[in-house]
Amino acid sequence: MAEEYKRAYAFGMDYGTSDFKFGPISCGEVPQIIENRGYFPDSGSIMYRAFDRAREVVVGEEVPLYLQSSEDLALRLIYPMKNGVIAKDDEKAWAVVREISRYGLSSFKPPEPEFRGFYVVASLSSIAPKYMYERLFKIYGELGQEGLVAASTVIAQPFAVAIAHKITTCVVIESGHGNTQICPISRYPIRNAVVTINRGGGDANALTAEIMKDAGYGDLAREESLVRRVKEGIGLVPADLDKAIEEGKRNPRKLRTKFKVPGTRITVELEEEPWRRFLIGEFVFDPNHEIFQSYFRRGMPRPRDVKIGDTTFLGMLDFGEGIARSVERCPVELQPHLYRQILLSGGNFSWQAPKELEGLAIDSKAKIKALLKRRGITNVKVTVADSPQYSVWRGCIIYGYVVPEDYEWDWDRMEGWMKP
């Protein structure tokens, strides 16, 4: 009975640095998505006192309604998971996490009278420290009081990806908006071998914004969400950057493209130097080419090394080198098996490779192979997760489905169900 209930009400939550993906098992393949952020309205303003009184944090679809022209946006709009880690005492960030969790769960709360809360499987970065687990459990405890959570558990994002693909020995590369985690898995994540890179889709956005400025779209380049769409629309991953640039200069027409923003009259196109499209994709996988220096000199932030807790996120490490380093921290006998099962997941691997640009622009899978080949690693198999942006969420659902209902949370093993 309890087992059946758990299966019916398994609920996945993937806390990404830019997006929060959530939903119960009944969503099927695709979860719901909102941005992982919260807005703290100015509680002193008259409008707030008249209409918003009850709410300390606004999350979800209503956030854009608050974003007009406010100069203190940076203080009021909080993205709690920057880098995947929240400081212990960052109360604002935790308030956002509580609110988006509540928002996610209550938007799916079923009317059935027998409903007494979801079986929540949450997923955090592979480097999330233990106190983050504790804090999340505390939040779920509170939401349990509101009838939203019956039990909860927390797993690492790369582990969720491996589960979604039912693969027990592999290297998962999870590359989202903020950063990239490379995590070998042999039944469980091999924590000592995790390599973290402080580079994700957001850095490609920064470069896209520079390219847009140079092409005369300075105003538009200030709008992050528009820049992101332009990036996804025009960015390309080159098989070989030098060759791609050369070919692009010789034959610019081949690369010209227009990006029209849906629902507006705005069009973005790179008339003069369409070959710059290749820089966007290259930068994600390997930012070390000469040509990027000129952008850094002009003020584009260089992906920095940052230390968060005991983990260092390297800014400029290319993905091929990252994989090699991570695998080489594992037992020698295991290494070939890991190379033979490389799983790419996260939205930052969703690059398109248009047919008409065959040979010049390639997909993420081919790019990773090329980077590894450069290091003499050839016996590899690379797979892109079925729907890279949702694979963590899907892994959460499957995990919730299979972990027995009566298996209680164990702090040593870091698995099982936490119940009130």
Ligand X SMILES: Nc1ncnc2c1ncn2[C@@H]1O[C@H](COP(=O)(O)OP(=O)(O)OP(=O)(O)O)[C@@H](O)[C@H]1O
Q: Does 203 bind ligand X (CB under 6 A)?
A: no
Residues touching ligand X: how many (CB under 6 A)? 23
Q: What letter would DSSP give residue 84?
A: G
- The count of residues in the chain is 420
From the list 176, 189, 235, 238, which residue makes contact with Mg ion (rule: CB under 5 A)?
176
Q: How far apart are the first and last CA of the chain?
A: 19
Q: Whose CA is closest to 105, among 7, 229, 9, 243?
A: 9
19 belongs to the binding site for ligand X (CB under 6 A): yes
Which residues touch 107 (CB under 8 Å, ≥6 apart)?
32
Query: Residue 38 interacts with ligand X (CB under 6 A)?
Result: no
**Binding segment toward Mg ion, per CB under 5 A, in 14-22, 114-122, 126-134, 191-199:** 14-22
CB of 55 to ligand X, least distance (A): 24
User: Applying CB under 6 A, which of residues 104, 144, 158, 178 lies at the interface with ligand X?
Assistant: 178
Report DSSP letters for 55-78, one per residue.
-S-B-GGGGGGG-SS-TTHHHHEE
Which residues between 246 and 265 bind Mg ion (CB under 5 A)? none
Burial class of residue 261, CB neighbours in 10 A (0-12, 13-18, 19+): middle
Give the range of 165-173, 255-263, 348-356, 410-418 binding ligand X by CB under 6 A: 348-356
Which of 200, 248, 287, 322 is the binder for ligand X (CB under 6 A)? 200
CA distances from 159 to 48, 71, 234, 385 (A): 43, 40, 32, 13
Which of 25, 197 has the CB closer to ligand X?
197
Beta carbons of 195 and 180 less than 8 angstroms apart:
no
Cβ proximity to ligand X, 210 vs 405, nearer residue:
210
**Is the Cβ–Cβ distance between 215 and 272 less than 8 Å?**
yes
Could you say which of Mg ion, ligand X, none residue 348 binds, taking C-beta under 5 to 8 angstroms by partner kind? ligand X
**Is residue 348 a contact residue for ligand X (CB under 6 A)?**
yes
Minimum Å gap between C-beta 256 and Mg ion is: 33
Stretch that binds Mg ion, among 64-72, 92-100, 173-181, 360-368 (CB under 5 A): 173-181
Pick what 23 binds: Mg ion, ligand X, none; C-beta below 5 to 8 Å, kind-dependent. Answer: none
- Applying CB under 5 A, does 84 fall inside the site for Mg ion? no
User: Do 210 and 222 meet the contact criterion of CB atoms below 8 Å apart?
Assistant: no
- What track of x and - describes contact with ligand X for positions 382 through 411 (by CB under 6 A)? -------x----------------------
CA distance 235 to 354: 11
Question: Judged by CB under 5 A, which stretch of 98-106, 172-180, 282-290, 302-310 contacts Mg ion?
Answer: 172-180
Q: Which does 232 bind (CB under 5 to 8 A by kind): ligand X, Mg ion, none?
A: ligand X
Contact 284, 201 (CB under 8 A): yes
What CA dihedral angle connects 68, 74, 76 and 78, to 10 degrees? Answer: 120
Give the binding site for ligand X (CB under 6 A).
16-19, 84, 174, 176-179, 200-202, 228, 231-232, 235, 346-348, 350-351, 389
